[in-house]
């Protein structure tokens, strides 16, 4: 039996590291030694704070979650590791797995996805974020030459902006309340705007801010008869909108997007695994390194998660280094 270290949310706002023992590696399984995990700031800090609504607790379960909301629960889904044992063809391969923050784990072979050899392991942590961005853009269906705004320059918003940047003739603007995000926008090759100067009459506006004010701004800046893609997850927090102004007269639409299912326009032709493989291939783009704005040892994960949740740490994607963990 292999002893490992895992991060648990004991109760809302309280995290700790536990020692556990792994089950034997069975036929059809792989043992993976974790290199890096990433904190999906929006979702994971909501989970850390106990903000998963009771109605969503089953739908919000991560693939290899242990425990239940609000806690104790082991939660997370951005894991890059190396296969230590299993099928000979996979041993030594770097893989992405939708697994929580843990130093090593055993899962079925089908749960791991090989990372292309030319992609740095730490960057590959973003596979889940880029996969979400792919789904958002499948829902948004941008066209050549579109004007696109992304409200909220967080991890998902930045990944959406970078992917949209590659469409010929498209102009992309990241909109955020934090002026420091302009540096990241420059690195991603897109424009930046604060809320006061956000461009108007945008063909597509995607809200990833996780705030009602961000969604309101999206409605105010999209074209008449336009559709706003709502890609935020609010947990148990309400969002208030002013729908008594020109929402009806301009015939605006709010459409939700989330990664749990392949976007309806591609559901008949793409599987979730194909979508993830595509995300990993797109991570050959070194511009995505701009989204990796924080790094810590696994030893400090409880403190890091608390600081991300209370806003004292403002990283886009914070990676956790497990390479020397036991």
pLDDT, one tens digit for every residue, the chain (326 residues): 689 999 999 999 999 999 999 999 999 999 999 999 999 888 899 999 999 999 989 988 999 999 999 999 999 999 999 999 999 999 999 999 999 999 999 999 999 999 999 999 999 999 999 999 999 999 999 999 999 999 999 999 999 999 999 999 999 999 999 999 999 999 999 999 999 999 999 999 999 999 999 999 999 999 999 999 999 988 788 889 999 889 999 999 999 998 989 999 999 999 999 999 999 999 999 999 999 999 999 999 999 999 999 999 989 999 999 999 97
Provide the pLDDT for residue 59.
87
Provide the pLDDT for residue 236.
81
> Whole-angstrom Cα distance, residue 133 to residue 146?
17
Phi, psi (degrees; rounded to nearest 5) at 133: -65, -40
Provide the pLDDT for residue 1.
66
Is there a contact between 250 and 224 (Cβ–Cβ < 8 Å)?
yes
Provide the pLDDT for residue 88.
96
Task: Enumerate domains of the chain plus CATH numbers.
Answer: 3-126+283-321 (3.90.180.10), 129-256 (3.40.50.720)
Provide the pLDDT for residue 238.
87
> Whole-angstrom Cα distance, residue 131 to residue 207?
17
pTM: 0.94
């Amino acid at each position: 039996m292999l002893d490992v270290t895992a991060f648990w949310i004991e109760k809302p706002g309280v995290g700790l590291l536990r020692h556990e023992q792994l089950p034997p590696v069975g036929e059809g399984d792989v043992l993976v030694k974790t290199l890096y995990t990433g904190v999906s700031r929006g979702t994971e800090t909501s989970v850390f704070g106990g903000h998963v609504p009771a109605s969503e607790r089953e739908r919000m379960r991560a693939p290899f979650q242990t425990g239940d909301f609000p806690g104790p629960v082991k939660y997370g889904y951005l894991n890059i590791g190396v296969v230590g044992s299993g099928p000979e063809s996979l041993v030594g391969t770097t893989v992405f797995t939708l697994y929580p923050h843990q130093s090593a784990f055993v899962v079925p072979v089908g749960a791991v996805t090989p990372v292309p050899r030319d992609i740095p392991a730490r960057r590959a942590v973003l596979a889940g974020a880029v996969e979400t961005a792919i789904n958002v853009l499948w829902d948004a269906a941008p066209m050549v030459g579109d004007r696109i705004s992304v409200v909220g320059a967080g991890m998902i918003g930045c990944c959406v902006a970078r992917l949209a940047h590659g469409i010929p003739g498209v102009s992309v603007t990241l909109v955020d309340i934090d002026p420091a995000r302009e540096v990241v926008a420059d690195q991603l090759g897109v424009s930046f705007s604060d809320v006061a100067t956000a461009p108007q009459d945008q063909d597509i506006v995607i809200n990833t801010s996780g705030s009602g004010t961000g969604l309101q701004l999206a409605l105010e800046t999209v074209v008449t008869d336009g559709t706003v893609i709502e890609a935020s997850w609010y947990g148990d927090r309400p969002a208030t909108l002013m729908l008594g102004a020109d929402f009806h007269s301009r015939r605006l639409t709010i459409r939700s997007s989330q990664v749990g299912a392949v976007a309806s326009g591609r559901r008949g032709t793409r599987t979730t695994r194909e979508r993830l493989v595509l995300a990993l291939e797109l991570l050959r783009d070194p511009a995505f390194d701009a989204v990796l704005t924080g790094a810590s040892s696994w030893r400090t994960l409880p403190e890091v998660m608390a600081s991300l949740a209370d806003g004292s740490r403002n990283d886009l994607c914070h990676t956790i280094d497990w390479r020397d963990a036991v």
